[in-house]
Amino acid sequence: MNPDWIAGLTGGLMIGCAAALYLLGNGRIMGASGLLGGLVDGTGRANWLERVAFLGGLIFVPALLVATGIVQRSAPVAGTGVLVLAGLLVGFGTRLGNGCTSGHGVCGISRFSRRGIVATVVYLLAGSFAVLLARAAGWTA
């Protein structure tokens, strides 16, 4: 089997275990855009410390894994203009649609949520279209 697939499956299982721990431990759905977005717009004020703790772990461990050379640093695929546009779209879109890959994808699909499944199909289609567009336009870093 291709080593990339093994890494993908292993990492995926870790992501799923993290979501399971957050659900069964703290009773919450592990959605990255919601956890951050609630801090950005103040709607998550009630449990802000819990959000900060989660985001702290999420930032610290990857930095540690890269610094120690266990995981390779990744390179961007787009220039500054495209990165800004894409960031705005991701920020606005995930708040409007109330979720991203972790909330709708991992947590939604696994409970057979209609909204999670529909959202995932839509963002996969839109993402494929965006890559087609980026490739055609020759947008690279």
Which residues ranging from 36 to 95 are in contact with another protein (CB under 8 A)?
36-37, 40-41, 49-51, 53-63, 65-67, 71, 73-78, 80, 82-95
Instruction: Give alpha helix (H) positions in 1-70.
Output: 3-26, 32-40, 48-67
Window 98-127: contact mask with another protein (x via CB under 8 A) = x-xxx-xxxxxxxx-xxxx-xxx-xxxxxx
> Least distance (Å) from another protein to the CB of residue 85?
7
Minimal distance in Å, beta carbon 70 to another protein? 9
Please give the C-alpha separations between residue 66 and each of 60, 70, 92, in angstroms, as whole numbers.
10, 6, 29
Shortest Å, Cβ 122 to another protein: 4
Q: How far is the CB of 40 from another protein (least distance, A)?
A: 5
The number of helices, as runs of H, and strands, as runs of E, in the chain is: 6, 0
Give me the 19-38 binding string for another protein, x by CB under 8 A, dash otherwise.
xxxxxxxxxxxx-xx--xx-
CA-to-CA separations, 13 to 106, 115, 120, in angstroms, rounded: 11, 23, 19
- Which amino acid is present at 50? E
| Pair of tokens at residue 85 | 């546009």
- Asked if residues 118 and 57 have their Cβ atoms less than 8 Å apart, the reply is no
